[in-house]
Amino acid sequence: MGPKFCLNPNLDRTELLSIVRTTASKVKEESASRWIQEAAEALPNTHKKGYSGVLKSTAALLREADLRLLPSDKEGGFVLASSDVYTKKVDKGIAGIFKPVTDANPGKIKSRAIKLCEEAGLTKMAASVRKTERTPSQSSLQKLTKTNAPSESSCAKEGHGNAT
């Protein structure tokens, strides 16, 4: 009867992705990553019955072993990390972006905020800050402060944010 009457094989998503990668090796190198991404997005997202049961048991196994499943690259790769390694990596990432505030004086911060509001013409906001009776305690100021965020004045100069 010939190939016209043959049924297509039932391939799961991993096999289809493997075919995509094999085909991408034939594409020019500069456009291969874009081709893989577009082809992977076009793959069907259907799951066979019973798949969720496997996924649930895998999640339970990861929980029991105290492991974290994390994305590792843009193409869908992943890595397993223990809770200790995960916590250390998170702490290191946060420490790279934030710094602890240790020598803050709540009274000075409040008066500086009032002064900045008045200089910016925000009299209602300055009055609202002035009305606050309680200033934050020193311990609550020992939170993390972002170190690499642009200042409000640089945002206003560059046209970012809501300038009124």
Smallest CA-to-CA distance from 156 within 132, 112, 120, 128 is with 120
Segment 26-66, tens digit of pLDDT: 888 888 888 888 888 887 765 555 455 566 788 888 889 99
Instruction: Say which residue, 59 or 128, is predicted with more confidence.
Output: 128
Joined tokens for residue 128: 């609202």
Domain presence at residue 15: yes
Which of 4-8, 48-52, 103-107 comes out lowest in average pLDDT?
48-52
Domain presence at residue 86: yes
Residue 78 carries which DSSP code?
Answer: E
Residue 74 near residue 41, CB atoms below 8 Å:
no
pLDDT at res. 5: 60
pLDDT at res. 141: 47
Domain presence at residue 50: no
pLDDT at res. 88: 92
Domain presence at residue 160: no
Rounded to whole angstroms, the Cα distance separating 18 from 41 reads 14
Which domain does 93 fall in, by range? Answer: 62-98
- 68 and 34 in a single domain? The answer is no
Question: pTM of the entire structure?
Answer: 0.33
Domain presence at residue 94: yes
Compute the average pLDDT of residues 94-111: 81
**Residue 134 DSSP SS3:** coil
Compute the average pLDDT of residues 138-160: 49
Which of 38-47, 95-104, 123-132, 153-162 comes out lowest in average pLDDT?
153-162
For the chain, report the end-to-end CA distance as a whole number of angstroms.
76
Would you say the C-alpha torsion 138, 144, 150, 155 has a positive or negative sign? negative
pLDDT at res. 153: 46
Domain presence at residue 153: no
Q: What is the mean pLDDT of the chain?
A: 75
Joined tokens for residue 43: 């793959």
Domain presence at residue 49: no
**How many domains does the chain contain in total?**
3
